[in-house]
Amino acid sequence: MQDFFFPGYTAEFIAAWNKDDATIHYDDNGFLVRPAPIGNVVNQNPGAGPIPHGIRVGYFGWLGSGHIRRLNVTHAFYQAVGEDTFNPIAGRPVTVNAQLAAAEVSYDRDWVRYRVSTFYTSGDADPRDSRARGFDSILDLDSFAGGLFSF
């Protein structure tokens, strides 16, 4: 939405759904690649094979970019909620509730741009309980506070 509350400031609201079905996959060399071979992925029953798991997570976000009077503002906030049918680290089904926030504020004066950036993601104090609180990226190869050829 252009000129959202302030002229020159654009806001975007997003909802995304991650439906990752439970599958088992081996690469061409016979190595397990799905589910990721970390944590508790091996079924304890003889000959049962790895334990697949499905993920159903919704991402809700508010992003903005532009200027508010003399300040240049860029920000993002994401909330992830959902479930993992068998988290290999926790060894059980988990509910997902995680957050990400990023912001950059800058001020232009002559040819100099003074900027301050901050980044936050929720962490998981106990990754083995039934609540997943650590935020994982909504996209691979995120860029923050600059791009590929800056900083």
What tens digit of pLDDT does each residue of 35-59 get? 777 777 767 666 677 888 889 999 9
pLDDT at 91: 85
Beta-carbon contacts of residue 21 (< 8 Å; ≥ 6 apart): 54
Q: Are 99 and 80 in contact (CB under 8 A)?
A: yes
Residue 146: the pLDDT is 65
pLDDT given at position 36: 76
Q: What was the pLDDT predicted at 126? A: 93
Q: Which of 87, 105, 79 is nearest to 38 (CA)?
A: 87
Q: Which residues of the chain have pLDDT under 70?
A: 42, 44-47, 140-143, 146-151
- 96 to each of 11, 117, 132, how far by Cα in Å? 26, 27, 5
Contact by Cβ (8 Å): 9, 68: yes
CA distances from 65 to 7, 29, 69, 149 (A): 11, 46, 13, 20
Q: Is the pTM of this model over 0.85?
A: no
Supply the pLDDT for residue 103: 94
- Burial zone of 23 (CB within 10 Å; 0-12 exposed, 13-18 middle, 19+ buried): exposed
pLDDT the model gives residue 21: 87
User: Which pLDDT value is given to residue 26?
Assistant: 86
